[in-house]
């Protein structure tokens, strides 16, 4: 038995015998590491495995908690979890065979490259394919402006760390926003300013005040299919935003991770409306194709390319050759276009189903739940605070998993009234079964 498996067995036994009852916080990883004479990393790996097994849940900056000891006996494949928490693409629609074929072709095509470092910018042939793909996304740019990174998270870390021509240090982020951006700022010690993002968009008076007074380095924004709210900015708002960015010399970092799901082919990203080279565009393929691909494209104003490459060189040297080659073939052969069309249909149908279910069973005036037309996420807002650990535990008894939405906020913006609901990994039938239970449990907590 490996060490992490031994730690798992130890914790499971303590849960079974009742020394760690439901709701109890697990001992710290350092405490268990001392008790069992193993590394902190081994204990953390075990705790993460227990969370994957749905026996414990994590609360950011607090620790891991026992869900329900009875689950050790009752949880089985016959009672699968309805997962409203996961952000990864539904494994049932990941194009495994296509990706496998592309990887096999890439092994033959780039055999020599596997034994040497490649271009820091990315494979030239992939960059050519990306340029053509980006034109279809209404992102018009030259090959010299495109850089391949190992996922969008690397791009965010580099942008936090690297200086920009304005010499400013603060970044502005929406509240709530993608927690990876919150974490990137925290780990790079980058000072942050927040601005509220609601279902209606942004408060542009407040935005201009921040641009004018705070000397912002860049504004990180998810204009389309926002994570976690699910909303999208209007064309008018995008045009207004790029005008303000130019007026106050602020760069915009556009994360367009789910823009491919737009139902209207005329829908354009923020980058399209920028004529002043203020927008840095990020497109990850991990979310739309397969998480393990770990490839993203970054489109930069020409004046930022050399500094970005300097930082990338000493963080990663080169992004995975096989993943780059596989993506190139996947794009060139038209496989991605076919897959994208399939995803548009699936996720539009899931959001429509969610909208219908919410409309049919909502009984409480405590909840406001706008549903987008497509995308992966929607976010309900309660008029009173949600006790997340209690809600998570109660829902788990009903075989429903949710995530703690507070991790999407800066500390000063913490708002315990939001709950992100992801349809990334749930079918329409699971939506129909799970949403009424979710709303019922929330209602019961407010009684």
- CA–CA separation, 427 vs 93, rounded Å? 11
Q: Compare 366 and 373 and report the one with higher pLDDT.
A: 373
28 with 143, same domain?
Answer: no
325 with 344, same domain?
Answer: no
The residue out of 283, 304, 333 marking a domain boundary is 333
121 with 27, same domain?
Answer: no
Q: What is the CATH number of the domain that holds 7?
A: 1.10.10.10
313 with 388, same domain?
Answer: no
User: Model confidence over 200-252: pLDDT tens digits?
Assistant: 899 999 999 999 999 999 999 999 999 999 999 999 999 999 999 999 999 99
325 with 401, same domain?
Answer: no
Q: What is the DSSP string of 386-415?
A: --HHHHHHHHHHTTEE---GGGGS-GGG--
132 with 184, same domain?
Answer: yes
312 with 370, same domain?
Answer: no
Residue 433 three-state SS: helix
Query: What's residue 447's pLDDT?
Result: 67
38 with 117, same domain?
Answer: no
Q: Which domain holds residue 59?
A: 3-74
Query: What's residue 283's pLDDT?
Result: 96
Q: What is the CATH number of the domain that holds 290?
A: 3.40.640.10
Q: Compare 72 and 182 and report the one with higher pLDDT.
A: 182
User: Model confidence over 172-206: pLDDT tens digits?
Assistant: 999 999 999 999 999 999 999 999 998 889 999 99
Q: What is the mean pLDDT of residues 263-282?
A: 93
**Considering its fold, how many domains does the chain have in total?**
3
Q: Which residues contact 322 (CB under 8 A, 6 or more apart)?
A: 103, 106, 107, 110, 114
> Cα-atom radius of gyration of the chain, to the nearest Å?
23
pTM of the model: 0.81
What is the overall mean pLDDT for the chain? 89
Q: What is the CATH number of the domain that holds 391?
A: 3.90.1150.10
- CA–CA separation, 67 vs 400, rounded Å? 12
197 with 302, same domain?
Answer: yes
162 with 282, same domain?
Answer: yes
35 with 181, same domain?
Answer: no
Output b/e per residue, 287-310; b: 16+ Cβ within 10 A. Answer: bbbbeebbbbbbbbbeebbeebbe
State the greatest distance between any 2 C-alpha atoms of the chain, in Å, as a whole number.
Answer: 66
Residue 225 backbone zone (phi > 0: left; psi -120 to 50: alpha; other: beta): left
Query: What's residue 76's pLDDT?
Result: 45
The residue out of 333, 365, 385 marking a domain boundary is 333
The residue out of 288, 315, 333 marking a domain boundary is 333
| 368: enclosing H helix or E strand | strand 367-368
326 with 348, same domain?
Answer: no
Query: What's residue 44's pLDDT?
Result: 87
């Amino acid at each position: 038995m490996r060490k992490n498996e031994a730690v798992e067995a130890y914790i499971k036994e303590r849960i079974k015998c009742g020394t760690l009852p439901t709701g109890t916080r697990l001992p710290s990883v350092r405490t268990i590491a001392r008790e069992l004479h193993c590394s902190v990393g081994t204990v953390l790996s075990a705790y993460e495995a227990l969370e994957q097994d749905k026996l414990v849940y994590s609360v950011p900056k607090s620790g891991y908690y026992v869900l329900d000891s009875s689950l050790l006996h009752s949880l089985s494949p016959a009672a699968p979890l309805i997962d409203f928490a996961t952000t990864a693409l539904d494994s049932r629609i990941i194009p495994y065979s296509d990706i496998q074929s592309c990887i096999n072709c890439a092994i033959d095509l780039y055999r020599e490259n596997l034994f040497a470092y490649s271009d820091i910018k990315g494979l030239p042939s992939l960059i050519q394919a990306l340029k053509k793909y980006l034109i279809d996304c209404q992102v018009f740019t030259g090959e010299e402006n495109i850089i391949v990174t190992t996922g969008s998270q690397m791009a965010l870390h580099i942008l936090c760390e690297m200086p920009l021509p304005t010499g400013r240090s603060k970044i502005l982020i929406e509240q709530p926003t993608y927690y990876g951006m919150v974490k990137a700022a925290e780990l790079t010690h980058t000072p942050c300013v927040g601005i509220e993002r609601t279902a209606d968009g942004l408060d542009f008076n407040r935005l201009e005040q921040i641009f004018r007074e705070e000397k912002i380095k860049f504004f990180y924004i998810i204009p389309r299919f926002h994570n976690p709210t699910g909303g999208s900015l209007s064309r008018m708002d995008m045009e207004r935003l790029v005008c303000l960015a130019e007026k106050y010399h602020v760069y915009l970092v556009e994360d367009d991770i789910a823009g491919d799901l737009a139902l209207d082919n005329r829908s354009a990203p923020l980058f399209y409306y920028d004529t002043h080279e203020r927008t840095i565009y990020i497109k990850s393929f991990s979310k739309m194709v397969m998480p393990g691909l770990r490839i993203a494209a970054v489109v930069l104003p020409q004046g930022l390319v050399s500094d970005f490459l300097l930082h990338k060189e000493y963080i990663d040297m080169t992004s995975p050759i096989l993943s780059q080659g596989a993506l190139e073939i996947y794009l060139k052969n038209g496989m991605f276009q076919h897959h994208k069309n399939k995803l548009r249909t699936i996720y539009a149908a899931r959001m429509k189903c969610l909208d219908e279910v919410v409309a049919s069973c909502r009984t409480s005036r405590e909840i406001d739940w706008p549903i987008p037309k497509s995308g992966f996420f929607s976010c309900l807002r309660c008029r009173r605070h949600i006790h997340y650990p209690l809600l998570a535990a109660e829902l788990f008894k009903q075989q429903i998993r949710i995530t703690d939405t507070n991790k999407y906020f800066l500390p000063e913006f913490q708002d315990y009234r939001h709950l992100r609901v992801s349809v990334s990994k749930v079918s329409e039938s699971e939506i129909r079964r799970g949403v009424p239970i979710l709303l019922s449990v929330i209602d019961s907590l407010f009684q």
